[in-house]
Amino acid sequence: MANSGPSDILLKRVVQRDPDIHSGDLVFTGTRVPVDSLVGYLKGGHSIEEFLQDFPTVERWQLESYLELSPQGLDFLRARDESAS
């Protein structure tokens, strides 16, 4: 039996996959908002604030936690940090 680390527990509070919610797509926990929507917003040049405004059921901490925990999120944060330098 594998131990769940803090990131596993946090990840379950951040995102979930359920066949009864949005056809089993990865969504932000407690919402019907697919994670792919966030990825599309960021790739399209939209801000985090715009995403949160358009999808008010997603909490800022969920979005930020997903970005910190996901490989795509880490790439986004690195690119943002590099452009700010």
Please report the pLDDT score of residue 68 as a whole number: 82
Domain assignments of the chain as residue spans, ordered by start? 30-85
**Tens digits of residue pLDDT in 22-35:** 998 999 999 999 99
2 has pLDDT over 60: no
Question: What is the rounded CA–CA span in Å between residue 48 and residue 30?
Answer: 19
Question: What is the rounded CA–CA span in Å between residue 11 and residue 3?
Answer: 14
81 has pLDDT over 60: no
Please report the pLDDT score of residue 70 as a whole number: 77
**How is residue 34 annotated by DSSP?**
B
pTM of the complete model: 0.74
Q: What is the overall mean pLDDT for the chain?
A: 82
